[in-house]
Structure 1
Amino acid sequence: MSATLPVVDHTLADTTSPESDAGTRQRVLQLVAGSGPVSAAELAAQLDLAPAGIRRHLGVLEATDQIAVHDGARSHQGRGRPARRYVVTSRGQAALSHRYSELAAQALRFLAETAGPEAVEGFAEQRVRDLEQRHTAAVEAAGDDLAARARILADGLTADGYAASVRPVPGASAIQLCQGHCPVQDVAHEFPQLCEAEARAFSRLLGVHVQRLATLAGGGHVCTTNIPMTVSIDHAPAHPVLSVEGHSA
């Protein structure tokens, strides 16, 4: 009698060890930050995971309050229930980085108390000037193609830890630069000068006026910057328009 060989279920390959589980969940969290609101099916496709595997990871992240179902409009494809779409919570944002936000906030408070608010403004401007120096050459290489400039800037911001992407605006002559993560989110909530300086840097890099529509520091699930496509490239724009909704980040 021949022995019966065991059947290997390859759909469970991502559950082989606690270490691989943790690494996969971290990747899921990063994708939700960068692409959210995003569905389980979209995440499974990006990570090449079976539906059961992605649902298990989403369940753990949701149970630990690192992600949540988006309150906005849900995507409905075909019959059945609309797809649940996920975004990162504030706890999930904190889990994405090892920042020392309270120490940074204390340092800025001390700077404001001893040298005045102008010193905080100067620090914020110097911080984004460094950002501009890192990305100017790559952005300028795209020429006057504003969409290309925005995509290159998003790639650079992602490398800096901002989980950035560029998305079209249906029915409008505009695109949106979205940042799913902000390394200084908590500090920016107290010191909006950081956000305002960043928006000015985006205007200078892209050569157009930009408008902040939603921010992580203001309670949004993503920082969204509106970029109009009908404005000609101007490499010395005036101050960007800032949203009145909370602080920018």
Structure 2
Amino acid sequence: MSETSVESATQDRVLRLVVEHGPVSAAELARLLTLTPAGVRRHIAALERDERIVVHEPSGPGQRRRGRPARYYVATDAGRSGLSHAYSDLATHALQFIGDVAGPDAVDHFANQRVSGLEERYAPVVEAAGEDVADRARALAGALTQDGYAATVRSVGPRGLAVQLCQGNCPVLAVAESYHQLCDAETRAFSRLLGVHVQRLATLAGGEHVCTTHIPTTVPTGRPSTTPSPHGDETEGI
């Protein structure tokens, strides 16, 4: 492999890690790649020049600190589109046709049918992880990553009372931007697979840099509830 090919392959690895773990620092990327910080910064600079990653600007009170804090990076739309995507304009036009001819309920039915196939494939993997919700979430993240979703799990809150499932890539993003029913059906499928109520906090289709699903690890599933979705609609928990 030529030196240029090696550089390109390493840049792709850096980009994929930014998609999976972002916001992420150069130091963390160096640790994950077992490279020197200087080497990682060279690839980061190249990805920034190509506008495939940007520095993450935190918002809200208390997010900015004095001094020179570490920079954290997230992928841009262009960076994510450089990864493998399993969709085309045809899918968007097909859903538009379905909605025009058969109405919005038909689009909902399509979205539910799509995730039912994923749910059927993921169920054995999740069940094999046991009863612990966090372990089940990690198993789900692994299955999603194999399908191109670049998924990770992070602990949040005190005493590990919840985790967040983060998806840095969406193979159907171009379609989901117009049809949020795909996101809502996916959220319901996650709830069924994990056996707890989950809440979608952010989506790539809604303009965020990652899809984030909040998963309580100690609350058993009960009667269906309704929680706000990041699109301004309501998402029914299962």
Give the letter aligned to residue 103 of structure 1.
L
Give the letter aligned to residue 195 of structure 2.
G
In structure 2, the partner of 1:37 is: 23
Shift of 1:52: 2.2
Shift of 1:218: 0.8
Q: Distance in 1 between matches of 2:183 and 2:216?
A: 20
Q: Distance in 2 between matches of 1:20 and 1:247?
A: 46
Contact 1:217 1:247 (8 Å CA) reproduced: no
Q: Greater CA deviation, 189-198 or 67-76?
A: 67-76
In structure 1, the partner of 2:183 is: 195
Shift of 1:220: 0.8
Structure 2 residue 130 is matched with structure 1 residue 143 = yes
Q: Secondary structure of 2:177's match?
A: helix
Q: 1:179 to 1:247 in 2, by over 3 A?
A: farther
Structure 2 residue 236 is matched with structure 1 residue 222 = no
Shift of 1:18: 1.3
Q: Secondary structure of 1:212's match?
A: strand
Q: Structure 2 residue aligned with 1:174, among 142, 162, 174?
A: 162
Q: Greater CA deviation, 193-202 or 143-152?
A: 143-152
Q: Distance in 1 between matches of 2:233 and 2:22?
A: 20
Shift of 1:86: 0.2
Q: Distance in 1 between matches of 2:96 and 2:192?
A: 28
Q: What is the RMSD computed on CA atoms of the aligned residues?
A: 2.4
In structure 1, the partner of 2:172 is: 184
Q: Distance in 1 between matches of 2:73 and 2:233?
A: 23
Counterparts of residues 1-249 of structure 1 (less than 5 Å): 17-72=3-58, 81-171=68-158, 173-233=161-221, 238=224, 241-245=227-231
Q: 1:225 to 1:180 in 2, by over 3 A?
A: same
In structure 2, the partner of 1:5 is: none
Shift of 1:98: 4.0
Q: Secondary structure of 1:148's match?
A: helix
Contact 1:40 1:85 (8 Å CA) reproduced: yes
Shift of 1:230: 2.8
How many residue pairs end up in the alignment?
Answer: 230
Which aligned segments of 4 or more residues in structure 1 are displaced greater than 6 angstroms? 73-76
Q: Distance in 2 between matches of 1:68 and 1:246?
A: 27
Contact 1:70 1:85 (8 Å CA) reproduced: yes
Q: Which runs of 5+ in 1 are unaligned?
A: 1-13
Contact 1:219 1:246 (8 Å CA) reproduced: no
Q: Deviations over 1:158-204 (max 9, x none)?
A: 11110111101133721111111111112101001101100000010
Q: Which runs of 5+ in 2 are unaligned?
A: none
TM-score by length of 1: 0.85
Give the letter aligned to residue 107 of structure 2.
V
Q: Distance in 1 between matches of 2:227 and 2:197?
A: 7
Q: Distance in 1 between matches of 2:35 and 2:232?
A: 37
TM-score by length of 2: 0.88
Contact 1:157 1:163 (8 Å CA) reproduced: yes
Give the letter aligned to residue 95 of structure 1.
G
Q: Secondary structure of 2:212's match?
A: strand
